[in-house]
Amino acid sequence: MRLQAKTALIAGAASGVGGQLMGIGGAVARLFAAEGAQVIIADIKDDVGEQTVSELRDFGADAMYIHLDVTDEEQWQQAVTATTEQFGKLDILVDAAGTSFRSKVEDQSLELWDLEMDIHARGAFLGTKHAIPEMRKVGGGSIVIVSSIYGMVGSMSTSYPTAKGAMRNFTKAAAIQYAGENIRVNSVHPGFVMTPLTESIFTEPGIINPRLALVPMGRLGTTEEIAKGILFLASDEASFVTGAELVIDGGYTAQ
């Protein structure tokens, strides 16, 4: 019970239904609940989010669902307020919301550029901004921002690695600013993982096989493997870890 008595708000966590392909946020929600946390799932996918919460409650977890568009500051304020009203505090924030569009620079539309920057970079900023005051009240907390290996290296896409790179450096800025208040901010950088977001491309042999050829471990990661890394950063076991990058990629970026 590594998160016993902790309250965790997880953005982008709707897809956590048992027996279905899970997103990283959904896998985090299930693991956090199993480790004793009070879990708040926040997402725009209300039906599946409510289903995930229902399952967690059936397992005896203390869980609730909140609708959250991570690009909307008012909705972030409402999500944090609902969390503290329900559970009295906020100890952990995980920002796992995301999207992805593939295009080269010349083909990149301004609309999709702005959307990726808003969901990833703006979402991470707004969540962190509104979580910090509540964490300060309880003497500290842990914020985990889910970036990507493409926040560290380039890719054939344009807006996605740019936005994920912004999340990486925002994490470091926030970590430095609030380290003295025991508010830790770290980023996680998953490699190739099968999720509802990547399923359509990772089931195409012409797309997945060349990628796996570049992974020393020769396979996709799982959302559960990413969730375990996030659990470490969220827990008190990582009490001296802030501003760090946890890469979980089967060795891809080690080359």
User: How many angstroms separate the Cα of 216 from the Cα of each of 122, 176, 194?
Assistant: 33, 33, 17
Give burial (CB, 10 Å; 0-12/13-18/19+) of 2. Answer: middle
Residue 102, pLDDT > 90, answer no
What digits encode the pLDDT tens for the residues 112-134?
999 999 999 999 999 999 999 99
Question: pLDDT value at position 139?
Answer: 98
Residue 169 CA to residue 187 CA, distance in Å, equals 9
Q: What angle do CA 115, 119, 124 make, to 5 degrees?
A: 145
CB atoms closer than 10 angstroms to residue 169: 13
Residue 25, pLDDT > 90, answer yes
Place 37 in a pLDDT band, splitting at 50, 70 and 90.
Answer: very high
Residue 61 CA to residue 71 CA, distance in Å, equals 28
Question: pLDDT value at position 2?
Answer: 97
Place 64 in a pLDDT band, splitting at 50, 70 and 90.
Answer: very high
Average pLDDT, the chain: 96
Residue 108 CA to residue 198 CA, distance in Å, equals 20
> With contact defined as beta carbons under 8 Å apart, do 215 and 184 qualify?
no
User: How many angstroms separate the Cα of 18 from the Cα of each of 58, 219, 236, 249?
Assistant: 12, 23, 28, 24
CA-wise closest residue to 193 among 222, 218, 171, 225 = 222
Percent of the chain, pLDDT > 70?
100
Identify the DSSP state of 216. Answer: T
Rg (CA), the chain: 17
Q: Which residue has the higher pLDDT, 197 or 14?
A: 14
> With contact defined as beta carbons under 8 Å apart, do 104 and 158 qualify?
yes
* H-type alpha helices, the chain: 24-34, 46-58, 73-87, 110-117, 123-137, 159-178, 199-202, 205-212, 223-234
Strand order from edge to edge, sheet including 245-248: 63-67, 38-43, 7-11, 92-95, 141-146, 183-190, 245-248
CB atoms closer than 10 angstroms to residue 187: 28
Residue 198 CA to residue 112 CA, distance in Å, equals 17
- Predicted TM-score of the model (pTM): 0.96
7-248: what CATH class? alpha beta
CB burial string 63-85: b at 16+ within 10 A, e below: bbbbbbbbbbeebbebbbebbbe
Active site residues: 160
What digits encode the pLDDT tens for the residues 84-94?
999 999 999 99
Question: pLDDT value at position 9?
Answer: 98
Question: pLDDT value at position 203?
Answer: 84
Residue 146, pLDDT > 90, answer yes
